[in-house]
Amino acid sequence: MTGELSPIDKAKFVAAKRACDYVEDGMRVGLGTGSTAAWMVRCLGELVRDDGLNIVGVPTSSRTADLARQVGINVTSLDEARWLDVTIDGADEYDGNLNLIKGGGGALLQEKIVATASDQMVVIADISKKVETLGAFPLPIEIIPFGWQTTKALVEETLIGLDVLGRTTTLRMNGDAAFVTDEGNYILDLHLHRIANPRQMSLVINQIPGVVENGLFIDICDAVVIGYGSGKVEVHDINAGTVEEDKIDFVESANLFSDL
């Protein structure tokens, strides 16, 4: 029940609920991955069940696909959908230009492909994800398993020439084994603390053999919906240059909260 939600979960919920306003009947919708995106999938599922919303979802991970099917959303692949009307996803960090770090959940490759195949990308987040300069959250990069230690060494060597505060890199683990993405790859987390030039970082890192993609989303996000524990919501639209405020009432919903 909503009364049992923590303030941070309330913030995620109201952001997710407000972001559903971007979705209209007949749309093809990219469905993000992560705790905030999961709220959005649940909210869309409720609209499908209760209001007859007719959409097709393209998930960015296998776990999002499972959740979408559970809540009644029709799921298809990006190859079938080809192009999307909107993608709604979370972020680990965002700055004033709506540049993002994503990949904390390990789905950055599919997330970036789906986001760039959309007319609009909308990010849902709580205010704690806002930063002046990207980099406090470790930057994930997806690498192929073959020769991963060599790739790691090349990444560390490359970081010497970039304007960052830290250069520690770690292989993401899942227990005693390396974390494996949906594409069968590994994740390196770069503990940079500050990224002075995210655009340069993204371009340079992607040139390293063995690197598949990085978690910097530059010039991809169109709007950020920020939720607060009080129910307040702010919508920052980078294209229109506007900031709108709204208030979302907490309404108990058996469908949405029954399995929390």
Length of the chain: 260
The answer on whether 129 is annotated among ligand-binding residues is yes
The answer on whether 104 is annotated among ligand-binding residues is yes
The answer on whether 92 is annotated among ligand-binding residues is yes
Q: Which residue, 187, 205, 207, is CA-closest to 197?
A: 205
The continuous run of DSSP H or E covering 123 comes out as strand 121-126
The answer on whether 175 is annotated among ligand-binding residues is no
Query: Which tokens hold the place of 23?
Result: 């979705």
245 is catalytic: no
> Whole-angstrom Cα distance, residue 73 to residue 44?
8
Q: Which residue, 116, 109, 51, 106, is CA-closest to 83?
A: 116
The answer on whether 57 is annotated among ligand-binding residues is no
> Whole-angstrom Cα distance, residue 153 to residue 185?
17
The answer on whether 215 is annotated among ligand-binding residues is no
The answer on whether 2 is annotated among ligand-binding residues is no
Among 93, 111, 142, 213, the one annotated catalytic: 111
Per the annotation, where are the binding residues for substrate?
Answer: 33-36, 89-92, 102-105, 129
Per the annotation, where are the binding residues?
Answer: 33-36, 89-92, 102-105, 129
Catalytic residue annotation: 111
